[in-house]
């Protein structure tokens, strides 16, 4: 399996499933007469980030992860989404961006040095395989699973099949 095949399809699967989950969440709000802002600002615990930020971070780890692994310019995306539709648009733009990467761009990415921020004015450098396995994927899946958990905790009727994007 190529490094591309281990990376891009995994990102695309969950990005797509989150779009479907957000559609179900919006329908839940309408059916239960809940203001969308309530779910968009929901958290699993007070010190955790809200749903909207979880989705933004999922997009960031997919797009920026691919860019860093391929040595491409890392995109900058302002976090301005305030509605389900805007978050779905961000997911769609991220999907389109991730789809622009070609397998050849990932050749040698597993052993390429990847430098990324770890805080204000701090960076770390890892080999591509370490970056993907220890940073990009864990963060991507953490924020995706947390978004799913926030919605499930708030009564949206979704399950594991929704998370996986399986009909």
Domain with residue 69: its CATH number is 1.20.120.450
- Distance of alpha carbon 109 from alpha carbon 112, whole angstroms: 5
Show the tokens assigned to 85.
């539709």
Q: Write down the pLDDT at residue 167.
A: 64
- Distance of alpha carbon 65 from alpha carbon 69, whole angstroms: 6
Domains: count for the chain: 1
Q: Write down the pLDDT at residue 166.
A: 82
Q: Can you give the residue range of the structural domain that contains 141?
A: 3-164
- pLDDT tens-digit map of 111-148: 999 999 998 999 999 999 999 999 999 999 999 999 99
- pLDDT tens-digit map of 25-83: 999 999 999 999 999 999 999 999 999 999 999 999 999 999 999 999 999 999 999 99
Q: For residue 117, what are the contacts with CB-CB under 8 A and spacing of at least 6?
A: 123
Count how many residues are written for the chain: 167
């Amino acid at each position: 399996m190529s490094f591309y095949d281990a990376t891009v399809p995994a990102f695309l699967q969950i990005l797509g499933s989150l779009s479907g989950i957000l559609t179900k969440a919006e329908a839940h709000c309408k059916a239960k007469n809940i203001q969308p802002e309530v779910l968009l600002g929901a958290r699993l615990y007070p010190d955790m980030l809200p749903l909207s930020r979880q989705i933004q971070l999922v997009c960031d780890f997919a797009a920026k992860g691919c860019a860093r692994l391929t040595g491409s310019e890392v995109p900058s995306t302002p976090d301005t989404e305030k509605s389900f539709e805007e978050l779905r648009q961000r997911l769609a733009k991220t999907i389109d961006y991730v789809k622009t990467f070609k397998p050849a761009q990932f050749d040698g990415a597993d052993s390429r040095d990847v430098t990324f921020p770890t805080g204000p004015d701090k960076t770390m450098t890892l080999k591509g395989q370490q970056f993907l396995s220890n940073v990009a994927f864990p963060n991507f899946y953490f924020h995706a699973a947390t978004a799913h958990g926030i919605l499930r905790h708030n009564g949206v009727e979704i399950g594991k099949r929704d998370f996986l994007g399986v009909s």
